[in-house]
Chain A
Amino acid sequence: MSLDGKVPQGPLADKWSKYKFDLKLVNPANKRKYDIIVVGTGLAGASAAASLAELGYNVKAFCFQDSPRRAHSIAAQGGINAAKNYQNDGDSVFRLFYDTIKGGDYRAREGNVHRLAEVSVNIIDQCVAQGVPFAREYGGLLDNRSFGGSQVSRTFYARGQTGQQLLLGAYSALNRQINAGKVKMYTRHEMLDVVVVDGHAKGIVTRNMITGEIDTHAGHAVLLCTGGYGNVFYLSTNAIGSNVTAAWRAHKRGAYFANPCYTQIHPTCIPVTGDHQSKLTLMSESLRNDGRVWAPKTVEIAEKLQKKQITAAQVAEEDRDYFLERKYPAFGNLVPRDVASRNAKEMADEGRGVGASGLAVYLDFADAIKRLGEDTVRAKYGNLFDMYIQITDENPYKEPMRIYPAVHYTMGGLWVDYNLMTSIPGLYALGECNFSDHGANRLGASALMQGLSDGYFVIPYTLGDYLAKIGPKKVDTSHPAFAKTKQDVLDHVNKLISLKGTKTTNEYHRELGHIMWEYCGMARTEEGLKKAKGMIQALKADFWKNAIILGKNEEVNASLERGGRVADFIELGELMVDDALMRRESCGGHFRLESQTPDGEALRDDENFAFVAAWEFMGENQPEKLNKEELVFEAVHLSQRNYA
């Protein structure tokens, strides 16, 4: 089946303005007759909940943390893009659009990406008005920097804590609406299912994580703003609680899952040290503005470094390979993430990696310290350096940092049309939870932009159109569909609670992660993927026989929470592998060894794969059905990405 993304007709630059004008409006006096459910209060969810409440809708918002301020968005470090052209360096809406389409390896929807670039300009204004303390220059104007994959300085930042400051801005807007009584906030509540009535999403089922109470909530529309699923790999830069449950349960109720195999691997993370490790820590990509990436030229030198027989400083200049600067002179260390990651892995694969495990390359600040002085470097990156010292016990002012790629962001997610509506009418997906704007690879500083764009500036318009069409008549929780869905959730919880095997859910999760990283990570082959599929199926069967879940539902029960999430990750893992198998081309962070150029770069196949893969759930243990949304490019020419 061919899917309709509902991108409006007409010239690219006019699509969104014209479309907004054509959308149906809800009369201001009628807005209070509508109830909206927002699941997730990260950047996407908090901005959406606040904006919708301001408009006059009644909002119920949910998150699993103890406070909306703790959503995973808080961890974003580097910055947020906007086509302000404050630096007069040639930036424009079209250039941001173009960079994003190209950076995504032509696997994103043109209409959405252009809208994102247009709206980016308003986001900064909005955040500044809320009191977000962005970095300033001495004259009082906003400061900008450049970020991986871009040749202009369009990134706004707040030291290394941009995500925290943006989230606190959105959180304060949300607080204002909570105080005004327009948002009712439910913290420590986990959404476990979507209630569908006559084909439309009309509510959700939640579990109170303190009492275990399973409850239903009704609304005219449901917005999922539940973030990404990078934790399917077990180790990732995501917060421990980030999970796929909300999106996956919605998928099982009919929402298509798009491009699940598109995972972004971030090049600058602190390498793994041991099996005890629970997560990986990202070092902001902004470090690549001044840090130079290198590996030793020979395997012999690498081995000496691994065994600590010599230090990095003892490696002579001519024995160092600044491989990014050598291969991509125009971008140097600022090549996009997928390119930087793949090249680092190549070094390690050739035996030229450093550190005890050999799974790392250097990010060296010696030149920057010589050029700028240690104080300037400290002022720019001090908090990141401190974090590195804390974790590794090594001092990057004295010796180069060790970095290695790690799973960071997922470009796949619930399929949505131009309105951000999933294939279930009335169910929307915003932020990292949807698939829409980044194609096969996300550029730095564009996820924050998308989350806030969706929440502040897109959904307030597109949701109104749907609400106006369905009218204010309520469906309430007495409808039998609510009792039925609640029962399904209870059955699932009881099934988990009854598992009294020998393996912890953490052990299953780690095993799944190993399979995913090995076979569905940075490089993939047909053979490996087929093998992974079998392994995941076996893991799933074993989970439902041998997992241990302790305690009962009616209490604080982390092992139950985790069990439910790991079970969903296992199922998602299988779909990711299916998706990767089907896509016999390389694009973005998805590198199929069978599809590369003679120089070893990712080789796309536009003839056969210029589409969004939207998977449809067909029942437990049934193969999923592939629906395709053809991607049409009117404004840009598809060309091979080339950063040389």
Chain B
Amino acid sequence: MSGNMNLTLKVWRQKDANSQGKMVTYPAKDISPDMSFLEMLDVVNEGLIHKGEDPIHFDHDCREGICGMCSLYINGHPHGPKRAITTCQLHMRSFKDGETITIEPWRAAAFPVIKDLAVDRSAFDRIQQAGGYISVNTGGVPDANATLIPKVVADEAFNSATCIGCGACVAACKNASAMLFVSAKITQLGLLPQGQPERYRRAQSMVAQMDAEGFGSCTNTGACEAECPKEISLTNISRMNNDYLSAKLFREEELHHSSGE
């Protein structure tokens, strides 16, 4: 095991949504390669607090790659330089002694900065609220095995369902498009038999909300897929476009009819 490291951090500091932000440089001394990136920031923050300085604010909770709360744009990549992991799963052994690390928040008009490195991702919630569900009340549902779902279909739906809603796809995209995120949910529900009745309407309402939130459009650059910690695939976007188009071309009337609910 190599020894501990000394690093230089360049961190985006911004007091609140309405203030101007700027990059500030901090030393990070005696960092163990076994620390996670967030633990490294904890150590830096303890030092700042001891000096009476405002600690660096960032979002996090589970610290095991599943809640989707951590963000951080590290050296030009959402969730840092390694593939298929979140920031909380990134360990300092991925960096070299003496390195300078640049840390910024997700940048997208639809994700305003709250403080320092934390941004407001509630636009994602509003997109899901617009129709990212299967309308079923509690109780009175059929037996779980009454509807057979072939393993391949279940697995494919599952692959889309693994999206953690972190927003790295938006941060990675030069247009700040939310297509990968939205398409993952649409695909999961669209593949399952339970999701059929509302399939086309769902695609339309979620896409409409996505546009209303100010996310950019997709120009098929693929940065989202490359930076997604859960390796959500671009094929989701094709599936979503399909559903969306079908809805537009063939089901306009039906949709219109039922949109008053």
State the A residues within 8 Å of B (CB). Answer: 47, 50-51, 54, 65-70, 72, 74-75, 84, 86, 122, 124-131, 133-142, 158-159, 161, 163-165, 168, 171-173, 175-176, 178-179, 185, 187, 210, 239-241, 273-274, 276-279, 281, 387, 390-391, 393, 456-457, 460, 502, 504, 506-507, 548, 550-551, 555-556, 558-559
Contacts and interface: CB of A to CB of B under 8 A. Distances in A.
Contacts of A54: 137-138
Contacts of B130: 179
Nearest to A241: B61
Given A130-B194, A131-B194, A66 B69 contact: yes
Nearest to B164: A164
Contacts of B141: 125-126, 128-129
A127 B164 CA distance: 19
A178 B137 contact: no
B164 A51 contact: no
Given A70-B68, A74-B62, A277-B39, A129 B125 contact: no
Contact of A142 (B52, B63, B144): B144
Contacts of B135: 176
A556 B119 CA distance: 12
A135 B149 CA distance: 10
A159 B158 contact: yes
B85 A390 contact: yes
B169 interface: no
Nearest to A129: B141
Contacts of A187: 122, 125
Interface stretch (B43-51, B95-103, B242-250): B43-51
B57 interface: yes
A67 B165 contact: yes
Contacts of B192: 131, 133
B142 interface: yes
19 contacts: A47-B138, A67-B122, A70-B69, A72-B67, A74-B62, A125-B141, A128-B147, A131-B157, A136-B154, A175-B132, A179-B129, A187-B122, A240-B62, A241-B61, A276-B32, A276-B39, A391-B91, A556-B115, A556-B118
B55 to A, nearest CB: 6
B35 interface: yes
B125 A457 contact: no
Nearest to A548: B49
Given A70-B69, A122-B139, A130-B134, 11 more contacts: A68-B125, A72-B67, A128-B144, A128-B194, A161-B66, A171-B128, A276-B43, A278-B38, A504-B49, A506-B46, A555-B16
B145 A72 contact: no
Given A128-B144, A276-B42, A391-B91, A559 B55 contact: yes
Nearest to A84: B144
A138 to B, nearest CB: 5
B49 A140 contact: no
A161 to B, nearest CB: 7
Interface in B221-252: none
A555 B155 CA distance: 44
B223 to A, nearest CB: 23
Nearest to A555: B16
Given A122-B139, A128-B194, A278 B69 contact: no
B61 A240 contact: yes
Interface of B: 15-16, 32, 34-36, 38-39, 42-43, 46, 49-50, 52-55, 57, 59-69, 85, 89, 91, 93, 114-115, 118, 120-122, 124-125, 128-139, 141-145, 147-151, 154-155, 157-158, 161-162, 164-165, 188-189, 192, 194-195
Contacts of A175: 125, 128-129, 132-133
Contact of A66 (B91, B122, B162): B122
Nearest to A124: B144
A43 to B, nearest CB: 13
Contacts of B38: 278
Q: Which 4 pairs of residues, A with B, have the shortest CB-CB distance?
A: A140-B148, A172-B133, A129-B141, A136-B154
B124, B131, B137 pick with most chain A CB within 10 angstroms: B137
B251 to A, nearest CB: 20
A70 B59 CA distance: 11
Given A135-B154, A136-B154, A165-B161, A126 B63 contact: no
Given A140-B150, A239-B63, A550-B55, A274 B32 contact: yes
Nearest to A160: B66
A593 to B, nearest CB: 33
Given A67-B125, A456-B138, A276 B16 contact: no
B39 A387 contact: no
